[in-house]
Structure 1
Amino acid sequence: MNLYDLARGLHILAVIAWMAGLLFLPRLYAYDAEQADKAEPLKGEMRALLRTWQRRLLKIIVNPAMILAWGLGLWLFWLRSGSGADWSFAHQPWMIAKLAGVLALSGWHGYLSAEFRRVQAGTSVRTGRFWRMTNEIPFLIAIVMVLSVTLEWGA
């Protein structure tokens, strides 16, 4: 078994879990925002349930998956360099696009985490429409990242 292939496989699994959470959490925020228009007896129960799901998704799946994706990605970076011997690949356009995507996904994750705190506090001003419109942002970023790495654009 090749250590690089093992790291790559584990990295892909971590990224899948991270992406799943980044795609689903805005949907939960949309449902939460739309509870404001509901009748009071159901609104409170549904919001409590949605906020429990949000917390669990963020704390049990999204945050750990991001940490694993980052850690395994750094390990892959190290392995690809020949244990620090050759960093020339890091300057290739495909790797720069990948790293820019990682930073963009991490920024979106940070935004969703900050919004989680606002939703929990009841101070969020975002609408269900906003969350539906922005829901696909991580997937669009992932398209660029995956294609840049698999095709090694500019190499």
Structure 2
Amino acid sequence: MSKVKEIVRGLAEPIAEEMGLELVDIEYVKEGKNWFLRIYIDKEDGVDIEECSIVSEKLSQKLDEADPIPHHYYLEVSSPGAERPLKKERDYERAVGKNVWIKTYEPIGGGRIFEGRLTGFSDRILTVEIRENGKTKTVQIPYDKIASGRLAVIF
């Protein structure tokens, strides 16, 4: 994790926790000529614009004090959305019963990308039910083989 993201996490987590929110992710990226610091927050029943605004105001004050970013940037605080990233084991535990998209570091059963219903997460193994050629099949994915994962909206 970059030094900036590490400092921002230290500033943002207490604010989120104080408000009963979860700090889901932090992005610090350059897009074109502009830098963006994006903070993603969530809670069980979702977050609203007011909560994002309050976190933004409180975090902005802390960032002004700590001054970890030497140049101009845009601060954005928002919900991670319907296809929120799954970063921690706890995220996968909470996603059981939901649709997920998983990419692995190496092939499992001939594939590296899996989209389907997460039916279980036990002993650091994900069980994903996927539809392939009109049939349902179950894939076991070791947690340590996951390159990235997110909730998925499947049509």
The reply to whether TM is greater than 0.5 is no
Greater strand fraction, Structure 1 or Structure 2 = 2
Which of the five TM-score ranges fits, normalised by the shorter chain? under 0.3
Higher RCO (CA < 8 A, seq sep 6+): 1
Which TM-score applies when normalising by structure 1? 0.25
Greater helix fraction, Structure 1 or Structure 2 = 1
Which TM-score applies when normalising by structure 2? 0.25
